Structure 1
Amino acid sequence: MYPLIRPLLFSFKPETAHLITLDALQFAYRLGLLPQFAKRPADNPHKAMGLIFPNPVGLAAGLDKNGDHINALAALGFGFIEIGTVTPRAQEGNPKPRLFRLPEAQGIINRMGFNNHGVDALIENVKRTDYRGILGINIGKNFDTPIEHAAADYLIGLRRVYTYASYVAINISSPNTKNLRQLQGNEELDALLTQLKAEQEKLADVHGKYVPLALKIAPDLDSEQIRQIATLLQRHRIDGVIATNTTLTRTGIEHVSQHTETGGLSGAPLRDRSTAVIRELAAALQGALPIIGVGGILSGEDAAEKVRAGAALVQIYSGLIYRGPELINECVKAIGNSRSGVE
């Protein structure tokens, strides 16, 4: 049914359509209508970060920033849900308009800027959910926290969400918070991971529960930066890496009228670069920790390609906007066929 609904949704401004879609999804969930929109994929369990995922296709962070719609989104058949990015304090994000569709390229440009209601509001939403599957919580820093004090915000986020998350994603790669990507630098990242790992171990002792950490990185890294990050991930025994966030490049979409809008580009134009980063990461990590592949997945074959490049799991977001819930089942099947050698 989604191909019939999409033209109507695309007639609204992107951010308005986003809110309408989530509200409609929630309404359909409460009425038990979601099975008519999405066939749940067959179980295809996979172990990563010490967790058992019922299938390898997850929802990327950004779609449900505050955890308002966890139950409804999970009912679409995702193997795991990642909510956020959430910051210690509520913030409005960047001025509107800040979200742009590029239908000709099957892409999206956003400069949202971590708009969210704050970590305490997210936790209250998590407490209310019936969802008992794999829940990732993605944390970031407030826009007005100086970059030299960023670690304090991440530590606040980690402490607050620790007991509610299956894993915690550390977002240092959004292009829409000033200077945030500096944290991917070798010295900055080494210092940040040192503090986060020490806090993780302390929290594990206090709560009797080990919650994995996954670092989310940018696609706009060169080979040397990727190797350095891989080395630090192993040195600090980080549990996973999410590759990748959105890109600042506009290669291949110069013909699209809105390509000059500032912000991170996602969707089909990101696919090849994201996969290339996954491939380089996999070569550098040699299986030391799992990669969650995200970026430009608009078909089952796109998901399978990420797995062949070295990803253990994948996440979708922009593809869901263009393809709808059927993409989830398609990706689960394609990954299953790829792993079993069936073409």
Structure 2
Amino acid sequence: MILSAFSPLLKLPALAGLTRDTLLRMDPETAHGATISALKLGLAPQQGQPDGAELRTSLCGLDLANPVGMAAGFDKNAEVAAPLARMGFGMVEIGTVTPRPQAGNPKPRLFRIGPAQGVVNRMGFNNEGHEAAFARLKETRIPAALGVNIGANKDSADFVADYFLGVERFAELADYLTVNISSPNTPGLRNLQADEALKRLLGEVLSARAKARMRVPVFLKIAPDLDEAALDAIAETILATDLDGLIVSNTTISRDMVVGLENAGETGGLSGRPLFALSTRKLAQMRQRLPALPIIGVGGIHSAQSALAKIEAGANAIQLYSALVFGGLDLLDVIKRGLVAAVRAEGKTNIAQLVGRKTADWAEGRIGG
């Protein structure tokens, strides 16, 4: 995927002409690489005014200037966390990173569904591995919370052991860690969401944190394709641990929302606007099961209204990515301004006062259907 609003800032000859329309005409992965290059060269907008008090958010003991984060998947190798933070994100999540470098799945593996503002990817955790990301992050300080999304190598003999290594490696650098077991692009990975496998996984991950002697918050990222029985089982398992939070959700394997559109039949996970209703309903259903657990809502946010809806469904904070492909970086400011306006319109003083006020409506399908 690709950010697409750098055209006023791309002054170097090699990057000239990278308007949003030009980027959208490129192969998606090529365009993504060009955008990463622009960010590394410092060619990115920076936030002007500080965020207002209405947006200040506490999440697992982390003080965020605002509750809007960059989701994992954009900065896979921890190359541009600082530029992203300076744009005004309240948190930046890098990765997914695996213990060993891996090339990911064969290309092409990234596809836009333009009319629906959706994206299908089957990247396959392509990344340079723990050591490359660690070396970069060791030298990085950012004005936002730093999340590290950890995964398992495709050819690993023991996926759980890979997550243990991820916690060990990044506990000292990350403000929070995300255990990503919900990508559909690593065969067998989503099986870790089930019963005994999840119990073992969380046991090992939290053991690794204890061994590291770092009380870094740990989040679990789940799929939107789980039925209510699976949600019950996950909630029960979480309640038996001291897991810090949940991220709902990853991409979906469903194509019901984009039937008949170009690229809709490509294998992989669907993200972007078509995912919004499904992921938000699952978020609300998990909020009902876990009333006190911090939850980050991600999936299909594309406007200030959809960001607010995710919060009202039960999210303490939110993340976006795919919408920036089509809406550009201005969307970040649009969302933050919209959230401030919503807080004021309700006569409240902080966005936290709007969290979960429509959970039941979303969970039971009275809205978002």
TM-score scaled by structure 2?
A: 0.86
Q: Give the gaps of 5 or more residues in structure 2.
A: 8-18, 348-369
> Is structure 2 residue 305 aligned with structure 1 residue 301?
yes
Counterpart CA distance in 2 for 1:221 and 1:186 is 13
The residue aligned with 2:39 is 25
User: SS in structure 1 opposite 2:79?
Assistant: coil
Amino acid at match of 2:119: I
* Alpha carbons 1:80, 1:133 under 8 Å: kept: yes
Identity %: 43
**Aligned ranges for residues 38-77 of structure 1 at < 5 Å?**
39=48, 42-43=51-52, 44-77=55-88
The offset of 1:21, in angstroms, is 1.3
> Is structure 2 residue 212 aligned with structure 1 residue 203?
yes
Q: Give the gaps of 5 or more residues in structure 1.
A: none
Counterpart CA distance in 1 for 2:117 and 2:6 is 14
> Is structure 2 residue 17 aligned with structure 1 residue 13?
no
In the comparison of the two structures, how many residue pairs are matched? 331
Q: 1:159 aligns with which of 152, 156, 168?
A: 168
Amino acid at match of 1:47: S
User: SS in structure 1 opposite 2:339?
Assistant: helix
**Aligned ranges for residues 123-138 of structure 1 at < 5 Å?**
123-138=134-149
User: SS in structure 2 opposite 1:2?
Assistant: coil
Q: 1:2 aligns with which of 5, 12, 31?
A: 5
Counterpart CA distance in 1 for 2:344 and 2:287 is 20
* Alpha carbons 2:148, 2:170 under 8 Å: kept: yes
Counterpart CA distance in 2 for 1:6 and 1:328 is 16
Counterpart CA distance in 2 for 1:338 and 1:311 is 15
Counterpart CA distance in 2 for 1:130 and 1:290 is 25
CA gap of 1:172–1:2, structure 2 versus 1, over 3 A, is same
- Which string of whole-angstrom CA distances, capped at 9 and with x for unpartnered residues, describes residues 292-323 of structure 1? 00000110111100000000000001011111
RMSD of Structure 2 on Structure 1 (CA): 1.7
Counterpart CA distance in 2 for 1:314 and 1:136 is 13
The residue aligned with 1:184 is 193
Counterpart CA distance in 2 for 1:77 and 1:221 is 33
CA gap of 1:234–1:65, structure 2 versus 1, over 3 A, is same
> Is structure 2 residue 289 aligned with structure 1 residue 278?
no
Amino acid at match of 1:12: M
The offset of 1:184, in angstroms, is 0.3
* Alpha carbons 2:79, 2:136 under 8 Å: kept: yes
The offset of 1:128, in angstroms, is 2.4
Amino acid at match of 2:93: E
CA gap of 1:260–1:303, structure 2 versus 1, over 3 A, is same
- Which string of whole-angstrom CA distances, capped at 9 and with x for unpartnered residues, describes residues 101-159 of structure 1? 1111100000000000000000111122232531000000000013xx21110011110
TM-score scaled by structure 1?
A: 0.92
The offset of 1:72, in angstroms, is 1.2
Counterpart CA distance in 2 for 1:49 and 1:3 is 33
Amino acid at match of 2:336: V
Q: 1:254 aligns with which of 240, 259, 268?
A: 259
- Which string of whole-angstrom CA distances, capped at 9 and with x for unpartnered residues, describes residues 321-342 of structure 1? 1111111122223333444553
Q: 1:237 aligns with which of 234, 242, 252?
A: 242
Q: 1:324 aligns with which of 328, 332, 336?
A: 328
